[in-house]
Amino acid sequence: MVEVGLGDRLGVLFPGQGAQVVGMGRGVFDASIASRGVFEEADDALAALGAGVSVSKLCFEGPESQLQLTAFTQPAVLTVSVAVWRALQEWRAGGDLPPFVPVAMAGHSLGEYSALVCAGSLGLSDAVKLVHQRGKFMQEAVPVGEGAMVAVVGLEANVVVEICARVDGPVSPANFNAPTQTVVAGAKGLVEQVVGLVHGAGGKALALPVSAPFHCPLMEPAAHRLAPLLDGVDFQDPTVPVVSNVDAALVTTADQARDALKRQVTQPVRWVEGMAHMVSQGVNRMVEVGPGNVLTRLMRRIDRGVPCVAVSGPEAFTNV
């Protein structure tokens, strides 16, 4: 349990793809009027695109096979994350507690959209439509089976960067998740070469069950298709600074927010640097909002001096 103190300076984190699980969000939907409004708006947004899927039904009932499809995973995780945040703030207001006012927010990959919605920079309906299309474009950028991603553990990030540089072709770090956990993405055969070099350097490489190699240059076709959609959506200056994935720096304007989302499709998630930047801004306590606790576990590996607690439903509200 992480209790609020007078000196607390809060950072809020939002998970990305991989956090999804059938049943997520049901607790806050049942407990919170604000949360139900989020799910209803998300359902309407996908319906307007003719997606043929209800976000709420997919989150609560599955099927898991459909929830795992990138084009549906992304709006589902986004919706649950925003629903939990709004339910948490609603719960605090009902208990005569002041609302949380974070020093900064950050989201891992897809989670950057959740952060921008909760920071007031991007409308929920627009975000749901964007991430559905984003997932679709990313899936279609590389034929199934031609790309791969592996999590390299036990080696420092600079070693992994050097190993990728030794392989001739499109393979590169995709996520700098923790000091000794770096995800590599690229063409399948080249990723297999990286795995061999990792083992030779004393590290381990774990294949990730993904349908495409995200956050690498092979995603360029997806970036080109997504850019005009981002240009067609209204962004506002965020009310809370958001740490971008691509620069590990604070986004404070609408133009910066849009530009960061364009570039993150093909560039790596600099999560370790982003968390360090939040701490440099005075953040001394973090809350992960949304399904799962992946970011909470990563934070323990990045900086144990900054407590982090995961909140995925109303049962955890009293923990923060």
Placement of tokens 């973090």 in the chain: 286
Q: 70 and 83: one domain?
A: yes
What domain range includes position 163?
147-207
**pLDDT at res. 163:** 98
In a domain, 21, yes or no: yes
- Give this prediction's pTM: 0.96
Just list the catalytic residues: 109, 215
- On whether both 235 and 122 belong to a single domain, the answer is yes
User: Are 137 and 151 within one domain?
Assistant: no
Residue-wise pLDDT for 63-83, tens only, equals 999 999 999 999 999 999 999
The closest alpha carbon to 186, from 199, 200, 175, 202, belongs to: 175
Q: What is the mean pLDDT of residues 162-171?
A: 97
Encode pLDDT of 199-252 as tens digits.
999 999 999 988 889 999 999 999 999 999 999 999 999 999 999 999 999 999
pLDDT at res. 7? 59
Three-state DSSP class for residue 20: coil
Q: Examine the domain organization and report whether 186 and 110 are in the same domain.
A: no
Q: Angle 70-94/111-118 helices, nearest 10 degrees? A: 30
Q: Total domain count for the chain?
A: 2
